[in-house]
Structure 1
Amino acid sequence: MSIEHNSSGSGDTAKYRTAAAIVGQALAQATALVVPGMSAAAICSYTDELLEALCGSVFRKETIERGVAFPTTVSVNRIIQNHSPAPEDDYILREGDVVKVDATAHIDGYISSAAHTAVATNFPSETVTDRRADAIAAAYYASEVAAHMIRPGQSARNLVKALGLVASGFGCTVAAETYTSQIDRFVMSGKTAFANRFDPDILVPDVTFEAGEVYTIDCTMSTGSGVARESAHAPTIYQRDVHHQYSLKLRTSRALFSEVCRRYSVFPFLMRNAIGTNNALKAGVSECVRSQLLVPFTVTADKEPGDTFVAQFKATVMCHHTGPVRLTRALPMPNVHSSTVIPQESEIGQILALDCEQAALPELPRLKNQIPIPIPSHHSGANAAATSMDIS
């Protein structure tokens, strides 16, 4: 598998690059919505609709599966991952919130994923200099370091070590349950997947990256302990376990699972979309989960309460025989300034000086029907009601 530096190329690399272009455009538009008064649920819904529309605008002559490969999540402050709130569990962004937007799409099973962290503020020209800046800078540079290390012969153990060095340099910790995962067609976690947080009880696999492999790198940093615990938010994202079989007993469970099988293949989905207007199907969720036919994605948060901030940057990178080739494009780092500086002569500085090429991405067609952009709420009553909810 090779990266082509023009609009042509093999079908798989062309579809990877197209998915990366789609994710990049959607993520840029989504992060522009990170402002006080904006609904987290609205950002998720808008981004998923945009991803679906963009995926539907390419390779139109081919009858292929395409669309959202993992529902968009908007995780605020110390929430680590998997937060795609239902309207009844919504959160309205507040001034100063650290907001992580994570988007994933696929074209014919070829997946690209990216995440970006922004600060919700009405004063974008003001530089953030507190602990939020440390978390954001740590996650940003960790993502850059990891991307530069996806090269033939480099080891997973060295990558985990480097991420730990970046985290400690900024006085942060690598968030638990965040991974670097090899991806393949219709596979979001392939034969090589390892936690980015070093755990003395779990040995990092003794593997080296090989040319032709594609990885998603989820670099998530916390100003707290980084230890993940289940948050107060119920899971909204689920996935079929296609390797598990069970004879469901309840009629509602059978109806729900039949609907899931009809509408979704191997990729995770939002349960509220599967249920739709048929609220009776909700009664079937518990049995489908107990029988392991459906697997929920837990919404996790840093276990330390208070002013703990978690930041995330994610990239999709191909290991090319010439070195790493970034498929997704990095958005500019937010307006933050940390007191920590990475010396050029340091181990991390030397890694950042290595080559890391950006893949040429195709220009996407203009959508015929634009997705309505959500508008932030400026009504103090509604805003106060939503922001009173615990976001951990």
Structure 2
Amino acid sequence: MDIQNSDSKYRTAAAIVDRVLKQVASVVVPGMSVAAICSYADQLVEANCQAVFRKETSIERGVAFPSTVSVNRIIQNYAPGPADDYVLCEGDVAKIDISAHIDGCLASVAHTAVATNAPGTTIVDRRADAISAAYYACEVAVRMIRPGQSARNLVKALGLVASGFNCTVATDTYTSQIDRFVISGKNTFANRFDPDMLVPDFTFETGEIYTIDCTLSTGNGIARDSSYGPAIYQRDVNQHHSLKLRTSRSLFSEICRRYSVFPFLMRNAVGDSASLKAGISECVRSQLLVPFAVTIDKEHGDTFVAQFKATVRCHHTGPIRFTRALPMPNVHSAIAIPPESEIGQILGLDIEQASLPELPRLKLQIQTPVPIETSSASAGMDVEIP
């Protein structure tokens, strides 16, 4: 694929996730099913991807990572089905994470919204601190993706933003170099500083593209597995193993037929087949499939996690942001970033917003989900979500 065509596909994928994010954020309201929101987002991504590059009929396109809506102190990967659904309540903090790809050229974006029936009310509690911290951390990180800047300095800056808002960077969240059909390239590193695991000592180079996942918590940020089982899996194409069980072989054959290298929802792969579902365990034990655990901040109490994510290219003139940031929710933190501080000076740096293509109108109309009766809002509630 030539560079110009590749760049066009990255920008198109960015335009798609931007469009979908706006539509999905508008339905984050009390009484809305998280499962319905995630399904709505994935349907929008697929429909938009099918509407572009129509002459290139043989290329792969669609969801690059299943859409997730992780609520309150859930850190990541919550894409529930009907059995483990959650219905949003007034004041819930919802992290919307959406990814799309065109011919393997992908873009990811995430935004934090607050489910409320009173959008004019300003939030001033710890939710405001978490959302402000994550928002500014992402804005800082985007500005640091420039030639010669080091990954270690970026991690240091994220830590400064977090501590300034009395928050922490969540574990197992990353800045990931991406490439065609690669969601986590060689220059991928954890955004949380760990004295026992040094950040790789490398500098960003012209032409590289990164997704920056800034997920911050008012708790200790240490992720642990939640009571929700994983819904998202990915093939490890580097692993080869002879499966013993017929059910496992059938499942893996079905997955290889339907999915390439990108993560997928297991419930879409197995459907209502109990026999296919029975093959999951052996495929995971054999490391042919990698599950994405639904993780939660281990600190109980008044704990909220917020997330913002951007896709950005390192250009010789500085960072070029592919995805666009939506405005923050109506929050006001008592904590401010002094313009003269190290973080304030980074925020003062200019960045270029990529010119994105105009997307065609969809011929296929995706039905917008509606809130369910609020009296049933606790039906899918897990004790781990306040």
TM-score range with shorter-chain normalisation?
Answer: over 0.9
Partner residue, 1:134: 129
Could you report, residue by residue, the CA deviation over 1:250-278 in whole angstroms, capped at 9, with x for unpaired residues?
A: 11111100000000000000000001232
Shift of 1:389: 4.9
Q: 1:220 to 1:388 in 2, by over 3 A?
A: closer
Find 1:281's aligned residue among 276, 280, 286.
276
Q: Is the 8 A contact 2:74 2:296 kept in 1?
A: yes
Shift of 1:365: 0.5
Partner residue, 1:22: 16
SS in 2 for 1:387: coil
Kindly indicate whether residue 43 of structure 2 is the aligned counterpart of residue 49 of structure 1. Answer: yes
Kindly indicate whether residue 268 of structure 2 is the aligned counterpart of residue 260 of structure 1. Answer: no
Distance 1:151 1:379 in 2: 48
Find 2:208's aligned residue among 202, 210, 213.
213
Q: What stretches of structure 2 of length at least 5 have no aligned partner?
A: none
Q: What amino acid maps onto 1:81 in structure 2?
A: Q
Distance 1:384 1:165 in 2: 38
Partner residue, 2:170: 175
Could you report, residue by residue, the CA deviation over 1:167-226 in whole angstroms, capped at 9, with x for unpaired residues?
A: 000010000000001000000111101100000001111100001000000000000000
Q: Is the 8 A contact 1:253 1:287 kept in 2?
A: yes
Aligned CA RMSD, in angstroms, stands at: 1.3
Partner residue, 1:5: none
Find 1:39's aligned residue among 18, 33, 41.
33
Shift of 1:379: 4.5
Q: What amino acid maps onto 2:11 in structure 1?
A: R
Shift of 1:37: 0.3
Q: Is the 8 A contact 2:86 2:379 kept in 1?
A: no
Distance 1:149 1:179 in 2: 15
How does 1:44-83 map onto structure 2 within 5 Å? 44-62=38-56, 63-83=58-78
Could you report, residue by residue, the CA deviation over 1:149-183 in whole angstroms, capped at 9, with x for unpaired residues?
A: 00001000110010000000001000000000100
Q: What amino acid maps onto 2:102 in structure 1?
A: I
Q: Is the 8 A contact 1:255 1:281 kept in 2?
A: yes
Q: What amino acid maps onto 1:72 in structure 2?
A: S
Partner residue, 2:351: 356
Could you report, residue by residue, the CA deviation over 1:26-48 in whole angstroms, capped at 9, with x for unpaired residues?
A: 11111111100000000000000
Kindly indicate whether residue 141 of structure 2 is the aligned counterpart of residue 146 of structure 1. Answer: yes
Shift of 1:390: 3.6
Kindly indicate whether residue 331 of structure 2 is the aligned counterpart of residue 336 of structure 1. Answer: yes
Distance 2:234 2:279 in 1: 15
Distance 1:388 1:149 in 2: 38
Partner residue, 1:225: 220
Partner residue, 2:309: 314
SS in 2 for 1:10: helix
Distance 2:222 2:177 in 1: 24
Distance 1:113 1:10 in 2: 20
Distance 2:378 2:144 in 1: 45
Partner residue, 2:182: 187
Distance 1:388 1:257 in 2: 31
Distance 2:262 2:303 in 1: 31
Could you report, residue by residue, the CA deviation over 1:271-293 in whole angstroms, capped at 9, with x for unpaired residues?
A: 00001232321110111111111
Shift of 1:141: 0.2
TM-score normalised by structure 2 residue count: 0.98
Distance 2:179 2:250 in 1: 31
Shift of 1:388: 5.6
SS in 2 for 1:325: strand
SS in 2 for 1:118: strand
SS in 2 for 1:168: helix
Q: Is the 8 A contact 1:22 1:51 kept in 2?
A: yes
Find 1:271's aligned residue among 266, 275, 279.
266
SS in 2 for 1:262: helix
Find 1:378's aligned residue among 361, 367, 373.
373
Find 1:248's aligned residue among 243, 263, 267.
243
Q: Is the 8 A contact 1:94 1:387 kept in 2?
A: no
Instruction: Provide runs of 4+ in structure 1 moved above 6 Å.
Output: none
Distance 1:306 1:26 in 2: 33
Shift of 1:302: 0.5
Shift of 1:71: 0.2
Distance 1:179 1:387 in 2: 29
SS in 1 for 2:66: strand
Q: Is the 8 A contact 2:16 2:100 kept in 1?
A: yes
SS in 1 for 2:379: helix
